Amino acid sequence: MNRFYTVFLILTATILFNSCEKDDLCTPDQAVTPRMVIEFKDASSPSENKAVDRIQVQEIGSSDFAPLDSTGSTSLNDTESISIPLRTNSSTTSYKLVLTEDGTINSDHIDFNYVLEEEYVSRACGFKIIYNNLSFEQIAESTGTQWIQQAVVVLENVTNNTDIHVQILH
Which residues of the chain have a pLDDT value below 50? Answer: 16, 19-20
- The predicted pLDDT at position 144 comes to 76
Domain spans, the chain: 25-169
The residue length of the chain stands at 170
- The predicted pLDDT at position 111 comes to 97
* Pairwise CA distance, residues 48 & 150, whole Å: 14
- The predicted pLDDT at position 73 comes to 96
Q: What DSSP string runs through 39-98? A: EEEETTEEEEE--EEEEEEEETT-SSBPP-STT--S-EEEESEEEE---SSSSEEEEEEE
- The predicted pLDDT at position 11 comes to 54
> pLDDT tens-digit profile of 36-79?
999 999 999 999 999 999 999 999 999 999 999 989 999 999 99
Phi/psi of residue 133, nearest 5 degrees: 55, 45
